[in-house]
Amino acid sequence: MKNLQKLTKFILLMTIVFFGCSSEENIQLLEVKEVSNEVASNEVAARSELKSIGSGVMMQAFYWDVPAGGTWWDTVKSKVKDWSNAGIDAIWLPPATKGQGGPYTMGYDLFDYFDFGEYDQMGSVETRFGSKNELKSLINEAHNNKLSVIADIVINHNSGGDLESNPFSGKKVYTDFNPLSGKFFRSSSDFHPNNVRKNDTGVFEAYADTDLSHHQSYVQDWLWRKEESVAKYYKNVMGFETDGVLISLKALKLGLLEIGKMLLADLL
């Protein structure tokens, strides 16, 4: 059973890394600070009653084009008790923050990393799935039923910015982001091309002009390094399980192949 759990985590890790970055970005990309002992102990205490991820089955708690109208978080909340009783140990939620499509988007056209359905922007207050309070209520209900909640966070690209000039491409691009949450403002220098890098390999063409540059210190600070970063907000304020994300960040820093060798060696 332990080997099966480790293999499951390894597959999930590889999926995160392969789809989250290019191979040339695997080494010396990130600096991951250790969580303080005080914070770590508090988190362990708060999550000690949850089932161990890998002890059962993770439920993908969404599908493409779930019903719009802001009712999805409540729909999922009504099911977590039965899922837990059936052997589910974690649920995976869709991108929970405001996208360019406001109340209609599935969240992969991310605009504001900190708007979980509480700011009137992009045509709505709530996301397609509901409000921030409804989301937190769902997460609390999942935890009460011993389920971890896995976040789907879009860090490759953004959407919905205002038009501005990029001096490195000589084009006008939609990279001027001024979210109402007041956090993680972005401009052309935070996307490719910029003064640090021309581009990523394997760019998703639909978002080539708004491809977030993870080599920029400012972007790194807001995604994972600052105390008010996206990763820490998801975990410490919203209650998502982000240990897998932290593992993948360390994998990126040390090198994907080396991490893979260590994990596979532990399995054999």
pLDDT in tens, 41-74: 344 345 668 998 888 899 999 999 999 999 999 9
**The pLDDT of residue 199:** 87
- Inform me whether the pLDDT recorded for 75 exceeds 70: yes
Cα–Cα dist 192/12, whole Å: 27
261: pLDDT confidence band, cut at 50, 70 and 90? very low
- Of 82 and 42, the structure prediction assigns the larger pLDDT to 82
- Of 206 and 266, the structure prediction assigns the larger pLDDT to 206
**The pLDDT of residue 2:** 52
Look over the chain and give the mean of its residue pLDDT values, rounded to a whole number. 80
Average pLDDT estimate for 196-204: 83
All structural domains of the chain, each given as residue ranges with its CATH number in brackets, are: 45-243 (3.20.20.80)
- Inform me whether the pLDDT recorded for 21 exceeds 50: no
- Inform me whether the pLDDT recorded for 4 exceeds 70: no
**The pLDDT of residue 187:** 98
Residue 88 phi, psi dihedral angles, 5° rounding: -70, 140
Total H helices, total E strands in the chain: 9, 7
**The pLDDT of residue 111:** 98
Q: Which helix (H) or strand (E) holds 46?
A: helix 37-47
Average pLDDT estimate for 72-81: 98
pLDDT in tens, 107-166: 999 999 999 999 999 999 999 999 999 999 999 999 999 999 998 989 889 999 999 999
